[in-house]
A = this chain, B = another copy of it.
Amino acid sequence: MEAFLNPVSVAIIGITRKSGPGSYNLMENMLNYGYQHKIFPVNYQAKEILGQKAYSNVKDVKQKIDLAIIILPRELVPKCILECAESGVKAVIVVGQGFADVGVRGKELQREIVKIAKDKGIRILGPNTLGVINNFNNFTTSFMPLNKEKAPIGLICQSGIFFVGARNFIGNVGKGIDIGNACDIGFYESLKYYGEDPDIKIIAAHMEGLEQGRQFLSLASHIAREKPIVIFKTGQSEKGAKDAASHSGTMAGHYQVYRAALKHAGVHFLDEDGQMVDAVKSLLHLPPMKGDRVAVITPTGAGGIMVSDAMERYGLKMASLSETTIRQIADLSPEWMPLANPLDIWPAAMKHKLKDVYPIALKAVLDDHNVDGVLCISIAPEIPEFAYLDVSEIINRIVSERPDKPVVVWLYGPNQKEINKKLEREERVGAFQTIERAAWSLSLLRERQHFLERAKTH
């Protein structure tokens, strides 16, 4: 895998002579990305590409090539891989579509390149792939621009949509492997690579066909002890399952059983395209939840009811707060205010100040032995006029002093996005767009703890 993610010399075979907008020039993108090592452009019609000497055939390079990226029409790919073999290349990325992803001829061609690669000792990533991202080495084979953050998030996917749409699906991706049709390099090796990679702390995978087999199950279970694994499985509908079955053969029938086994092995399964980004940030930054009892702090009773609904949906319980906790807020509230969980602090905040009441409530529930996790509701006011209602710094400070229970936050008001960013800057709390997502994230942290406990006893 090192040749794919950390090559110090790459050949780009079939690279376009065009550059600039609309040219999808992979070499141009690679240079813009900041790749500092050797690039050999190969194009039989060009002498020079982007200021670098071009070769008419990969065999003419006559220097060590760690990785060859092939962007030729499908019928030309088998011959090209043979030429790569003759040039001593050990790793190739086949970018193009039109292989096992479509029709009889495509499948035939894919079998052919797999056979050549095996015979010649070459490893293939793809076909039908954008290749790799390695932000720790300023390297990508994508022809589309990507985020460049050195995030400890390793992505495995079967479509370039996760590279271009990384922020929509996952957040900032640090490394990415698009296995495409996965004719050779697949989930197993990619997962293993991230498992051993000190740059990576969490692994997010998009699977169309579910990777099968005892070997994968055992690897996932092993890695999940150290690094959370989330899998977004697509192709679950009747239509999708059919496609998946025709893709990978026999697996469709055993799907539910195998999925349950993977969940047992510590994998978090996702079903909707908006869940991954929240799952990744929760599992990466927040501690697992040791029990299922959640405390809710809220300046609105209505919000508290919404949380109760969501907790029930996700199998969590509303904690019975200790007398000590209740008393601390009761002392600040009007005498008529009954207090329980959700802990409605608004009457207290009207008598005193939100910024004075919030830290007392948050400390109390975090110190409460009846509480395993906390969902904070508060206001995201207009800044600066209403800055006195922004409790983000208070939450961050108190959570940093009591880091053992997960704290998730949902804010309402015009500045949700901006104040959520402040809340997440220190990577101790998770701030979510909806109550539903905040509650769901706690349930994932509960799932994580369940797995870690099982793993300890084995």
Residues of A with Cβ closer than 8 Å to B? Answer: 21-22, 24, 74, 97-98, 101-103, 105-106, 144-145, 147, 157-162, 164-165, 167-169, 206, 208, 234-240, 243, 271-274, 300-303, 305-306, 308-313, 318, 334, 336-338, 346-347, 350, 353, 379, 381-382, 385-388, 412-414, 416, 433-437
Complex alpha-carbon distance, A379 and B145, angstroms: 12
Partner of A336, one of B103, B145, B386, B434: B103
**Closest residue to A161 on the B side, CB-wise?**
B300
A226 to chain B, nearest CB (A): 28
Q: What are the residues of chain B within 8 A of A169 when measuring CB–CB?
A: 412
- CB pair A309 B385 closer than 8 Å: no
Q: What are the residues of chain B within 8 A of A162 when measuring CB–CB?
A: 302
A239 to chain B, nearest CB (A): 5
A44 to chain B, nearest CB (A): 20
**Closest residue to A300 on the B side, CB-wise?**
B161
A443 to chain B, nearest CB (A): 14
Q: What are the residues of chain B within 8 A of A436 when measuring CB–CB?
A: 272-274
- CB pair A158 B302 closer than 8 Å: yes
- CB pair A308 B237 closer than 8 Å: yes
- CB pair B240 A305 closer than 8 Å: yes
Copies of this chain: 2
Complex alpha-carbon distance, A416 and B263, angstroms: 32
Answer whether A413 and B165 are a contact pair too, CB < 8 Å, given A22-B388, A309-B240. Answer: yes
Answer whether A309 and B237 are a contact pair too, CB < 8 Å, given A300-B159, A433-B274, A435-B273. Answer: yes
Q: What are the residues of chain B within 8 A of A350 when measuring CB–CB?
A: 24
Answer whether A336 and B302 are a contact pair too, CB < 8 Å, given A21-B385, A164-B413, A165-B413. Answer: no
Answer whether A21 and B388 are a contact pair too, CB < 8 Å, given A164-B379, A337-B98, A433-B274. Answer: yes
Complex alpha-carbon distance, A183 and B260, angstroms: 50
Q: What are the residues of chain B within 8 A of A437 when measuring CB–CB?
A: 274
Complex alpha-carbon distance, A339 and B186, angstroms: 26
Q: What are the residues of chain B within 8 A of A306 when measuring CB–CB?
A: 234, 273
- CB pair A311 B237 closer than 8 Å: yes
Most B Cβ at <10 Å: residue of A164, A386, A416, A435: A164
Q: Could you list some 28 contacts between A and B, CB below 8 A? A: A21-B387, A22-B353, A22-B388, A102-B336, A102-B337, A144-B386, A145-B385, A145-B386, A147-B414, A159-B303, A161-B303, A164-B413, A167-B413, A168-B413, A168-B416, A168-B433, A234-B305, A235-B309, A237-B313, A239-B308, A239-B312, A239-B318, A243-B305, A272-B434, A273-B434, A273-B435, A274-B434, A274-B436
Answer whether A412 and B161 are a contact pair too, CB < 8 Å, given A237-B311, A302-B206, A305-B243. Answer: yes
- CB pair A102 B388 closer than 8 Å: no
- CB pair A237 B353 closer than 8 Å: no
Partner of A159, one of B144, B302, B336, B338: B302
A120 to chain B, nearest CB (A): 25
Complex alpha-carbon distance, A345 and B255, angstroms: 30
Complex alpha-carbon distance, A434 and B433, angstroms: 13
Partner of A98, one of B206, B305, B334: B334
Answer whether A106 and B312 are a contact pair too, CB < 8 Å, given A159-B300, A434-B274, A436-B274. Answer: no
A378 to chain B, nearest CB (A): 11
